[in-house]
Amino acid sequence: MNLQLTGHHLEITPPIREYVTAKLDRVTRHFDDAIDASVILSANKLQHKAEATLHLRGKDLHAESIDTDMYAAIDAMTDKLDRLVIKQKEMRLDKRTQGETIRKMSASE
């Protein structure tokens, strides 16, 4: 998976890069079909915003979070993205099993 990490009004330090990479590895552990991810970290006066777009085959998932701490914002963003990935995976599995059920029903007739 390709990772593009961008900072707006914020310098991306090696610890932040490693933290984001470690958190996104958890997301890709659930779902291997991720092509690439783009993460934008921005800092305003008292708000830190983390947003990510994960590109899958046929679908783009987007999550964002705002917090006073950058690491907390990254945690919340990856939690949201993780839930979206699990939901997408379940939807694909449901479609696959639904198609098999229809094929079995038409074969028995």
Domains in the chain: ranges and CATH: 2-108 (3.30.160.100)
**Conformation bin of residue 53: beta by default, left when phi > 0, alpha when psi is -120 to 50:** beta
CA gap 33, 85 in Å, rounded: 10
Per-residue model confidence as pLDDT tens digits over 47-60: 999 999 998 888 89
C-alpha dist (Å) from residue 17 to 67, 71, 77, 103: 18, 11, 15, 47
Q: Model confidence at 4, in pLDDT bands (50, 70, 90)?
A: very high
Q: Model confidence at 99, in pLDDT bands (50, 70, 90)?
A: low
- On the question of pLDDT at 16 being above 70, the answer is yes
Q: Which pLDDT score is estimated for 26?
A: 84
- On the question of pLDDT at 109 being above 60, the answer is no
